[in-house]
Amino acid sequence: MSVVLSSEEFNAKVLNGTGKVLIDFFATWCGPCRMIAPFIEEIAEEKAGEVEVYKIDIDQSPDIARQFGIRGVPTLMVFEDGKPVSQMVGAQPKAQILQMLG
């Protein structure tokens, strides 16, 4: 299951963390965000132990959204060892999200 992170948790678990992390930048009012939410949950379960999956609510953590230039939601970003390595904007099929993870 994916977890919504606060700004402090994001710094600790993503920027200062190790390994691969998928971040779903979303908003509660965003229809496409709700559309891909089941995919994100399935990926979190299927990739448990390989990839950490977290969510950032851009309305609750606008500082993180600004830091990474998030202008539209949903935006998915993959981090490896605290550094962003890929980004995808808009609702995407599960297969494409998995492909982004490698």
Q: Select which of 5, 27, 30, 77 is catalytic.
A: 30
100 phi and psi angles, rounded to 5 deg: -60, -35
Rounded to whole angstroms, the Cα distance separating 14 from 5 reads 10
Q: Select which of 33, 43, 64, 73 is catalytic.
A: 33
Active site residue 30: yes
Computed on alpha carbons and rounded to an integer, the radius of gyration of the chain in Å comes to 12
Spell out a b/e string for 53-62, using b for 16 or more CB atoms within 10 Å of the CB, else e. bbbbbbeebe
Active site residue 94: no
Residues serving a catalytic function are 30, 33
